[in-house]
Amino acid sequence: MNLAMAQQTYIVESRELLRDMESALLRLEKAPRDPEAITAIFRAAHTIKGSSGAFNFDAIVEFTHAMESLLEQIRSGRTPIDGGLIALLLGCGDHVSSLLDCLAADDRKTAFERIRETGEGLLAGLSAYLGSEGVPQKVEQPAPAAAVEQIGGPTVASDGWHISLRFGRNVLRNGLDPLSFIRYLGSLGKITEVTTLFDAMPEAADMDPESCYLGMELNFTGAVAKETIADVFEYLRDDCAIRILPPHSRISDYIDLINTLPEDKARLGELLVKSGALTHRELEDGLRVQRETDAGRKIGEILVGQGAVQNELVDAALEKQDLIKKSKAIESSFVRVRADKLDELITLVGELVIASAGTALAARGTADAETIEAASTTGRMVEEVRDRALKLRMVPIGETFTRFSRLARDLGRELGKDIELELTGTETELDKSMVEKIADPLMHLVRNAIDHGIESAELRKERGKPAAGRLHLHAYHDSGSIVVEVSDDGGGLDRKKIIARALERGLLPAGQTPSDEEVQRLIMQPGFSTAKTVSNISGRGVGMDVVKRNVESLRGTLSIDSAEGKGTTMAMRLPLTLAIIEGFLVGVDRYSYVVPLEMVVECLELSTEDRARVSESGYINLRGEVLPLLRLRDVFEVTGDSGKRENIVVVNYGGQRAGFVVDALLGEFQTVIKPLGRLFERLSGISGSTILANGEVALILDAPALVQRAVAAESNQGFSKAESGAALIAASKD
């Protein structure tokens, strides 16, 4: 394994652990006695420390060790949990994240120096909780030999630990350095003796240079617990044989160790005596006791026979071991894949979809039944591959939502507001690339809701509301799109204040009374803000216009539903993926357009009687409901007369319906979205392009924008046509 790649994996996994730690700390703030949250925080800090030790990142090891010491006191109940402690630990998590950033910096020394003072301040805070000396309390040594002898037989005189290691063959292949674990162990105490064994080394002709054949016998002194030493070798447990004997262990334990190791028994005994782990007399006494004991007995039978352990306890231990094996089997079923490799796969699948469509078209041209059937079978398999490939990139939105728990907490405290964050629909999935792109607009919406939407505690009490403001993030699927809502129970949009600021800036003519929709559009104007003063949170007017622009760049829409005094809901409606969609192909004259299939409700023929009336009114009566129409021939300024027959494609988006009038219905089509060039990327009514089976280019309609145009026209608000139709025609010819 490449060391740089292993380090990158370590950084990614450490950041995931930090996010888990942050979520657990926020839960712990609301439920200080939650044992699961405490355990999760301790586990995250401990794992980061162990991983950092394996890579010799001493700065992270030392800092997380201090964190772990405090977390151990919390876990044991010696340190009570309060708001100050939670804030300190959250700051410690941020500092560990900064230390990880330093590892990726070109100049690590300079990067570490910039955050040194922050780290020292946090360590001082940890020391205040740990005690007057600012260091964790020493772990008490095991009971003296006399006490141990009473409950387990004679013990050795040595007051040090003995550790036996037999490294697995794949340790080096897995990118692990055996010596790094020994160095980390040395940082916890003192290694007094090391004996390296090469007994497992094969002949030179049979030796694999990538395999590890090392064995070690170590003596170690240090005021640590056995669990701490075992955790040093946590990443070796699956591949290595590790045995740890504490100070004053029973002589019989050393004899058992000698018997279980693969090397020569007499030689091992001499090594243990030479290293000082036990004396000659202790070794002879142990061997004598062993000869007097039936060599065929198993350890478990001896314990059960003596009544030291019950059969039920043995069964429980075996059951726990099975659970551990199953857990490891589940973990091994996951594979971490680079995002760019998935992107390459999706691109290839897109080309495969186009090639499959071309094959189907060619097969139909042959009029050969077997060829058509083979092309049809291939097409079905390609569809299956496409669906499976797209699902690989689908991730739940919950991880993005949980990032805002910290933002809501910190921002609420800064503004003096108590915020209750509620997350629903966290299991809703969307494309990974989409998740990354909605994080920024979602952050602006959350900040606006907390700053502008939710009132202060005093004002909420005056209005008969709970003192704590409620912020709700919700996601769900609807008509082939994903809807992400940010709702608050604050004061809603203040029409008077918005209109006053709009008049002040000349955005509204004097004396005009704007509708609710016009008021909502005003707050999305660049530079528009109703804040009286500029702060580090708001007041610069660079929030909502950025959100609107980012959402529209993703082929989505932003809507606002507000009730004064009750709250506001801002909803982003976005496509599930930016790569491949199911499309419905329509024709206007000799040009082809694609409508996203999930938005198509039905198709119907425009009768001769309705054609003249539609050209004047712009709508038809569809089973008792008014259906606004949009003639694509007019929108894109396609010259020439329409054919004898015209059709209507009824489209639904966000609860609004409209009909697109086209010349021909060409059927379903798997559409691989190709981005438009810079010259055409801002064309109204067009979201992309695709390549047809015959090699021609078809334009993908921006159905949401066109539906809104049709609805606006039906409401006598008017709409502008798309940009130059000649430019669109030129794009399709290219």
- Strand, helix or coil at 575? strand
Residues 16-38: tens digit of each pLDDT: 899 889 989 998 988 888 888 88
Domain 580-733, classified CATH 3.90.420.10, yes or no: no
Residues 174-211: tens digit of each pLDDT: 778 888 888 888 888 889 888 888 888 888 888 888 88
Eight-state DSSP code of residue 68 = H
Whether residue 171 is predicted with pLDDT greater than 70 in this model: the reply is yes
CA trace torsion 359, 364, 366, 367 (10° rounding): 150
- Measured CA distances, 593 to 106, 614, 632, 667 (Å): 50, 22, 9, 11
Q: From the options 1.20.120.160, 3.90.1010.10, 3.10.180.10, 1.10.3210.10, give the CATH code of 3-130.
A: 1.20.120.160
Residue among 146, 154, 272, 149 nearest 217 (CA): 272
Residues 516-572: tens digit of each pLDDT: 777 777 887 776 776 655 454 554 444 677 788 888 777 788 888 888 888 999 999
Whether residue 9 is predicted with pLDDT greater than 90 in this model: the reply is no
Specify the pLDDT at position 59: 86
Residues 48-83: tens digit of each pLDDT: 887 787 677 888 888 998 898 888 888 888 888 888
**Quick count: other Cβ atoms within 10 Å of Cβ 9?**
14
Specify the pLDDT at position 723: 38
* Rounded-to-integer distance, Cα 515 and Cα 731, Å: 38
Concatenated DSSP letters for 411-470?
A: HHHHHT--EEEEEE-TT-EEEHHHHHHHHHHHHHHHHHIIIIISPPHHHHHHTT--SSEE
Contact 278, 248 (CB under 8 A): no
Q: What is the percentage of the chain residues whose pLDDT exceeds 90?
A: 11
Contact 259, 202 (CB under 8 A): no
Residues 577-620: tens digit of each pLDDT: 656 677 899 999 888 999 988 889 999 988 877 777 776 677 88
Please state the pTM of the whole predicted model.
Answer: 0.58
- Residue 240 exposed, middle or buried by CB count within 10 Å (0-12, 13-18, 19+): buried
User: May I ask the CATH architecture of the domain 145-293?
Assistant: 2-Layer Sandwich (3.30)
Residues 634-650: tens digit of each pLDDT: 888 888 777 778 899 99
Question: What would the CATH number be for the domain defined by 395-575?
Answer: 3.30.565.10
Mean pLDDT across the stretch 112-131?
87
* Rounded-to-integer distance, Cα 24 and Cα 35, Å: 10
- Strand, helix or coil at 393? coil
Contact 670, 584 (CB under 8 A): no
